[in-house]
Structure 1
Amino acid sequence: MKLNHVLSTLNQIEKSKFITCLDKLCSSADPASETITKTLKKVNQQIKDASGSDITQLFQAVAQEFKESAREKLALCDASMALLVNILSRDGNGVARISWIEQLYAREWESLDCLANQIKQDVGNSEAEDYSHIHRLKIFRDCLNVAYTNDEKINRQANITDDERSILNTLSHHLKISKDEVVAIEHLADPIKAGKQTVDSCLQELRDMGVIFINRKNAEVLIPDEVVAVLNQIQGKELADKHLLRILRVLSDAELSNILKSYGKRIRGVSRGDKISTILHSGIAVRDMLSRDLYDEADNQNKRKERLKVLITDLEIDAERIGSTLDERIDVILESLNSASDSEFDAISAAGYKEMFDSIQQNFKGLDSAGNPESLIQRIRTEFELEENDEVSVERLRALSITPQDMLYLLSNDEVKELRDILKLSKKGNPRFNILQAFANVNDKLIENYEALARRDFLTLKTVGIDIAETDIGVKFEEATKSILEQLDLVIDEELRKNINTAKDKADIIISISDDDIIIGEAKTCKNGDFAKYSTTSRQIKAYVNRCENQGKRVAQVLIIAPSFSQDFIESAEMDTEVNISLLTAEGLKQIYDAYKAKRRPNFSARLLTKGGLLKAELIAKSI
């Protein structure tokens, strides 16, 4: 969830620690920074009164200072804090209940303790000095113990300093010891605390640092995507697990085995899925994998560079330059994947995402690690560590920044090919890309025939190849309308819509135009003649307005979209004193959309939809 969105869901008290932290960083930042000066001037130097978008701008301006501040504070904390930060910064945990975080911590601690005891037993039973993996673990353990007990020699509390840790990190890199093993060995020297009280104490400390938000009403922890990126950098994690998974999916079995062999992991009798899972959960640095671990020993530098070139193609990375050195090509891969989320959400609309999600859920025939049948929902819960009673929906996935591509990469290569065949898509090219393209194209076709949808012209829709039940036309019109508004770069607030909807009344669209101001949108189809049901529509929208205002939002406008409106409807809307209503024909919205898409640098604002009465689409289209 983006910082701006997180801020809009919290009250002033819940935001206070973060804002205090940001205030201090802005005060000590470079006074020559134009962004900081301009934004602070806009809010009269009072950050606590700033809007979410202004606070987001300030955060971006001091992101480097925020990272250094968080790094210094986290360095003073014990290992239990490091373990919790690792959990909180993982995919799917950006919004989670405190009780679920406690369960994840307990599960992680148990797994870590088990690995630590296994290493202790293996090292204790081995006398060999053959530079095997166990021998390398012993070398690292002895060095870590010296670093830990150095302070005791000068009568100080045992601790590992930053300098010592940097040396240990370099040592683990050259000894090819994975991150999970490093943490387990440190756990043997300085046991990590377990228990609910430890988690609660660490969460409060992180909140005081301004690193996380806690929603007391829902007992939830929230960490914005921007802060997760900072935490990953502090941990030395260059790529989120969901993006690392994409790389592992396109590697061969032999390459996966090479990575595991480098770290002394078992490969005989291990399935491809288990190999990928082991690599993901071992914390192996992605740069080490791509620069040395996945290759055969005989592979020279040119072979390695050529392999990365093929990998860039396999990952559908569209880069202007792929670089000439190994490091440059690794940088291209990491930078492209780290910045992929926004473009991936833009490539397919929310409606297209939902349609794809529903189709995969219906046709998915997966198996879990034990070989038992598994649903798509179960796979998503497992891989993204979602709580059992959490609803898994497209809205929830979008809030957790899980893109359609992220979801498709949860499926193995064989599962994706099987799904592609069930959907009767082309066997040429990347099957994941073909699936995405298919649902993006379906959405485009609905927009192309938007006016026929509005008029419920079933025969025209059938003629152009849109396979749709007549009873579903209203829902598809609503989805197409939402998609058009999204592509006009308007912010659709699904979270608020979900909160105000009841079993009886459901608002179609909510557009956020500022932190507190919204537009309520209604998409109405009409088969014969003009849309004329003003009294019914009026009761609906006034109920939505009241619910939105109860959520602390100000309804700047109500926007009703229909194929056309009766004269009585137009006059009643103009004379309504309780709400501000704008009317827009389906043809008019399509005209605005076409004008927007035709311009290289379109200039469109949601405020153009708040003029009231029947909007003149041709004038709005010209102003774009």
Structure 2
Amino acid sequence: MKLEKILNNLNSFEKNSFLKIIDNLIADKPKQIKEIDKILNDASGDLKAMDSLNISRVFNLLKNEFSSYLYDEFQKSTSQVDILTDILIRDGNCIMKQDWLSRLYDTELKQLKKKIKVFESELSAEKSDLDESRKRDYLIYKACVHTAYVNDDLNNQERKITFDEQTILNTLSANLELSIEEIKLINYMIIPLKQLEIDEIITELRNLGMVFFSKKTNVVYVADEIVTLIRKIKGKEIADKYFRRILRQLREPQINLVCKKHNIDWRQSIDQKIKEIINEGISMHAVLSTDIYKPDLAITDRKKFVNELCDKNLGISPKIGGATLDDKLTNLVKYFDEIEADDKVGISVDGYEKLLTELTETLPKIKDLIKKEFELQEENVMRSSYLLDYNIKPKDVLEIIPSDSLTKFCDKKGIKTRGSLVENILENFKDAENLYIENYELVGYRDLAGLKENGIKVKESELGILFEDLTRKILSKLGFQVDEDLRKSLNTSKDKADIVVKISEKELILIECKSVKESGYNKFSSVSRQLKSYIQLAEKNGYKVIKSLLVAPEFSDDFIKECGLDYELNLSLITAKSLNLILEGFKETKHKTLPHNLFMRDVLIQEDRILKSIAK
């Protein structure tokens, strides 16, 4: 979940720890101070008084400074931040109930203790499956951790690893190419592993600015933006789901080389090996630069392999650039960072919902698979809105499904199986958006029965939002600049415009959407008050509203008459059917944008007049 959305769910007290850190970073005059000051000045200089959107904007300008702050805190921390952050950065753990986090933490500790026992026995055994050179690396690192931890005894001080000692250990572990899991196992062979209370854990993480906690709902939130920073600090360049995508393109002998290097059982199934490589926290850069190759393979051949991986196997376009192998891998990380930060789903949200519904019908166990893979707590996880809050997109879901199950799904749905099954399925569900737009009028009429007959399953409570969303999409397809950021910045807790279309730098069209069951929308006094408030709000912010537009399935004669008599609003009416017909006609023309002047003439906009105008 994005930072802005999380902040909207919290009260001022629950934001305090985070805002205090941001305030301190601003006080240190960061590089982007001019841009930050501009945002602060617009909000009377008080960070706490700012809305969530602007706080998020300030944070994005401070990402580098916040990352440096977290890095220093990690080095200074004497608690189990390394264990806790391993939980936080996993896909699906950005929103957790308090008891769920507690359960994940308990499980993590139990598994860690078991692994430590096995690892200790392998290190101490004269004969083991460990490679001798690798065993030597482990023992060197272990000896250094031991010295760093117990050398305080010489000065009769409490045992701890200092900041300076930790930075040296970090350098050592990096040069020994140890994974996050290997480091953790060795560290806790030396450092006592104590069970912490969940309240203590949440308080520490909140004070560090890593998580937010809502006492009202007992929910722990980790913003997507912060997850990315924590992951980078820990040496995991990309999210697990993207690393999985890469690993699945490798041949099994290559996967085996990675396993052997990092003490993972290479005799397991390939899916299990991939899962363990991800869980070990092995660096993607290390895997693609050294781990999957035989030692004598030339750098040029390694780069050639990475080129083919990116261009052919992953199908990345435009091509990932880079003069050297390191440059190439750095740019690959940037590519995945951009995908992660992008709100685009890949297919329409409606298509995602339809995909989840049909996956559930064909593959009944899919829900349990998604819950387990992404460590989700809720029972009803097969909802696009729910999964998107966890930044889990359609491709992420499809990539965890075994190939035989995907083939079964494709066969059942008549989807081609040649080539990439995942891409074929995504392509098939891209048309779902058109299905919703085709039924736009029924959505406006809140006709659940009609929608169901046409293959659309939706709750009645969701129809209003769906009608607004479809209106936005239609306007965007007509070439209008639907400005969501501007709408959010203009809206207040009292006045919330549905859609804002930006015509020029300071000129707007305001659009209100009304879905109604009864025939003929007739609440003129109500909608006129709303629109007048929105117009005043826009003008107060320096914008000129050149037109107001009301979209509904139909209007009563009295409503149309009253609208014509009101000269202040400059309001025109358009039915859902007319707007949809205009879109269909627009597709057949060479226009890139529908001239907005065509909406300026009539009280009740007639689609035939507009269609004739654009057909010329």
Residue in 1 aligned with 2:232?
A: 233
Q: Deviations over 1:548-605 (max 9, x none)?
A: xxxxxxxxxx9964444232344578999xxxx985422564558998999989999x
Matched, 1:345 2:339: no
Please give the residue correspondences for 1:102-113 in structure 2 after superposition, counting only pairs within 5 Å: 102-113=102-113
In 2, the alpha carbon distance for the partners of 1:433 and 1:47 equals 44
TM-score under structure 2 normalisation?
0.78
Work out the CA distance in 2 between the residues paired with 1:216 and 1:386: 20
Per the alignment, residue 194 of structure 1 pairs with 195
Alignment map for 1:508-587 (pairs within 5 Å): 514=491, 516=493, 517-519=495-497, 524=515, 531-532=519-520, 534=522, 561-570=551-560, 584-586=574-576
Residue 135 of structure 1 deviates from its aligned partner by 4.4
1:416–1:431 Cα contact (<8 Å) kept: yes
2:61 alignment partner in structure 1: 61
Given residue 284 of structure 1, which amino acid in structure 2 is its aligned partner? Answer: I
Q: Is residue 344–residue 404 contact of structure 1 (8 Å, CA) maintained in 2?
A: no
Query: Following TM superposition, by how much is the alpha carbon of 1:102 offset from its aligned partner in structure 2, in angstroms?
Result: 0.6
Distance 1:279 1:70, change over 3 A: same
Q: Is 1:125 equivalent to 2:113 in the alignment?
A: no
**1:320–1:271 Cα change, 3 Å:** closer
Unaligned 5+ segments in structure 2 are 499-511, 531-547
Contact 1:176-1:263 within 8 A present in 2 as well:
no
- In 2, the alpha carbon distance for the partners of 1:232 and 1:267 equals 26
Match of 1:295 in 2: 293
Matches for 1:376-525 after TM superposition, within 5 Å: 376-389=366-379, 391-444=381-434, 446-447=436-437, 468=454, 479=466, 482-485=469-472, 488=476, 514=491, 516=493, 517-519=495-497, 524=515
Write out per-residue CA displacement over residues 69-99 of structure 1, whole angstroms, 9 at most, x where no aligned residue: 2222232222422211221222111111111
Show structure 1 runs of 5+ residues with no match. Answer: 366-374, 494-509, 543-557
How far apart in 2 are the matches of 1:472 and 1:392?
A: 13
**Secondary structure, aligned partner of 2:213:** strand
**1:17 is matched by which residue type in structure 2?**
S
Separation in 1 of the partners of 2:489 and 2:408? 40
Where does residue 20 of structure 1 map in the other structure?
A: 20
Q: Which secondary structure state, in structure 2, belongs to the residue aligned with residue 402 of structure 1?
A: coil
Distance 1:398 1:64 in 2: 26
Q: Distance in 2 between matches of 1:491 and 1:127?
A: 66
Listed as ranges, the matches of 1:593-608 within 5 Å are none
Change (3 A) 1:297 1:315: same
Q: For 1:347, what is the secondary structure of its paired residue?
A: coil
- The answer to whether the 8 Å contact 1:490/1:512 transfers is no
Instruction: Name the CA shift for 1:70/1:163 in 2 (closer, same or farther; >3 Å).
Output: same
Q: In the alignment, what sits opposite 1:3?
A: 3
Bigger Cα displacement from structure 2, 154-163 vs 244-253: 154-163
The separation in 1 between residues aligned to 2:585 and 2:326, in whole angstroms, is 43
- Count, aligned residues: 562
Question: RMSD over aligned Cα, in angstroms?
Answer: 4.5
* 1:268-300 deviation digits (Å, cap 9, x = unpaired): 2x1111111111111111111111112234432
Residue 31 of structure 2 corresponds to residue 44 of structure 1: no
Distance 1:346 1:114 in 2: 39
Alpha-carbon distance change, 57 to 277 in structure 1, aligned in 2, over 3 angstroms: same
**AA in 2 matched with 1:249:** R
CA distance in 1, matches of 2:465, 2:41: 41
Residue matched to 1:279: 277
The 1-side partners of 2:395 and 2:262 are apart by 29
Q: Secondary structure at the match of 1:44?
A: coil
- CA, structure 1 residues 105+454, in 2 after alignment: closer, same or farther (shift >3 Å)? closer
**CA distance in 1 between partners of 2:399 and 2:490 (Å):** 34
Could you tell me how far 1:267 is from its partner in structure 2?
1.5
Change (3 A) 1:248 1:599: farther
- Cα distance change on mapping 1:453 and 1:218 into 2, 3 Å: closer
Tell me, in whole angstroms, the C-alpha distance in 1 between the residues paired with 2:73 and 2:491: 33
State the AA in 1 paired with 2:520. Answer: A
Residue 361 of structure 2 aligns with an amino acid whose one-letter code is Q
1:386 is aligned with what amino acid?
A: L
SS at match of 2:132: coil
Partner of 1:84: 84
Deviates more, 1:38-47 or 1:321-330: 321-330
Amino acid at match of 1:418: K
Counterpart-to-counterpart distance in 1, 2:168 and 2:557: 78
Post-superposition CA distance 1:500-533 (Å, at most 9, x none): xxxxxxxxxx99964635346766489xxx9426
2:430 partner SS? helix
The 3 A distance-change label for structure 1 pair 599 and 35 is farther
Q: What is the alpha-carbon distance in structure 2 between the residues aligned to residue 72 and residue 471 of structure 1?
A: 50
Task: Give the Cα separation in 2 of the matches to 1:127 and 1:471.
Answer: 61
CA distance, structure 2, for counterparts of residue 377 and residue 122 of structure 1: 38
Q: What is the alpha-carbon distance in structure 2 between the residues aligned to residue 471 and residue 170 of structure 1? A: 55
d(CA) in 1 for partners of 2:404 and 2:366?
Answer: 15
Amino acid corresponding to residue 329 of structure 1 in structure 2: K
Native 8 Å contact 2:82 2:184 kept in 1: no
The aligned amino acid for 1:23 is: D
Q: Secondary structure at the match of 2:220?
A: strand
What secondary structure, in the 3-state scheme, does the structure 2 residue paired with 1:283 have?
Answer: coil
Deviations 1:236-295 (A, max 9, x none): 221111211111222222221121112232222x11111111111111111111111122
The answer to whether the Cα contact below 8 Å between 2:356 and 2:384 also exists between their aligned partners in 1 is: yes
Q: How far does residue 305 in structure 1 lie from its aligned partner after superposition?
A: 1.2
Give the whole-Å Cα distance in 2 for the aligned partners of 1:451 and 1:271: 51
Corresponding residue for residue 534 of structure 2: none
Matches within 5 A, 1:317-356: 317-341=316-340, 343=342, 345-356=344-355
The CA deviation at 1:340 is 0.7
> Partner residue of 1:252?
251
Cα deviation for residue 385 of structure 1 reads: 0.8
Mean CA deviation greater in 99-108 or 417-426 = 417-426
Note the C-alpha offset of 1:201. Answer: 1.2
Paired residue type of 1:426: K
- Post-superposition offset of 1:164: 3.4
Partner AA of 2:47 in structure 1? I
Q: Tell me the SS of whatever aligns to 2:279.
A: helix
C-alpha separation between the residues in 1 aligned to 2:526 and 2:39?
A: 40
Return the alpha-carbon distance in structure 2 between the equivalents of residues 192 and 300 of structure 1.
Answer: 43
- What corresponds to 2:159 in structure 1? 158
Name the CA distance, whole Å, in 1 between partners of 2:456 and 2:110.
54
Alpha-carbon distance change, 286 to 515 in structure 1, aligned in 2, over 3 angstroms: farther
For residues 252 and 87 of structure 2, what CA distance do their matches in structure 1 show? 28
Go from structure 1 to structure 2 and tell me whether the alpha carbon gap of 1:15 and 1:572 turns closer, same or farther (over 3 Å shift). Answer: farther
Single out whichever of 389-398 and 33-42 deviates more from structure 2. Answer: 389-398
Aligned to 2:209: 210
1:267 equivalent in structure 2: 266
Structure-1 separation of matches of 2:35 and 2:595 = 22
Amino acid of the residue matched to residue 307 of structure 1? F
Kindly state the Cα deviation for residue 42 of structure 1 after the two structures are TM-superposed: 0.4
Alpha-carbon distance in 1 for matches of 2:368, 2:88: 21
Q: 1:66 to 1:603 in 2, by over 3 A?
A: farther
Separation in 2, partners of 1:229, 1:357: 26
Q: Aligned partners of 1:573 and 1:344: how far apart in 2?
A: 38
Equivalent pair of 2:78/2:161 in contact (CA under 8 Å):
no
Aligned residue identity for 1:279: I
What SS does structure 2 have at the residue aligned with 1:96? strand
TM-score, scaled relative to structure 1: 0.77
Q: Which moves more between the two structures, 236-245 or 165-174?
A: 165-174
Return the alpha-carbon distance in structure 2 between the equivalents of residues 50 and 317 of structure 1.
39
Question: Quick one: structure 1 residues 265 and 601, their matched pair in 2 at CA, closer, same or farther if it must change by over 3 Å?
Answer: farther
Query: Which sits farther off after the overlay, 187-196 or 166-175?
Result: 166-175
User: What is the letter of the counterpart of residue 189 of structure 2?
Assistant: L
Which one-letter code corresponds to 1:340 in the other structure? I
Structure 1 CA distance for aligned equivalents of residues 371 and 297 of structure 2: 39
Q: In the alignment, is the contact (CA less than 8 A) between 2:264 and 2:273 conserved in 1?
A: no
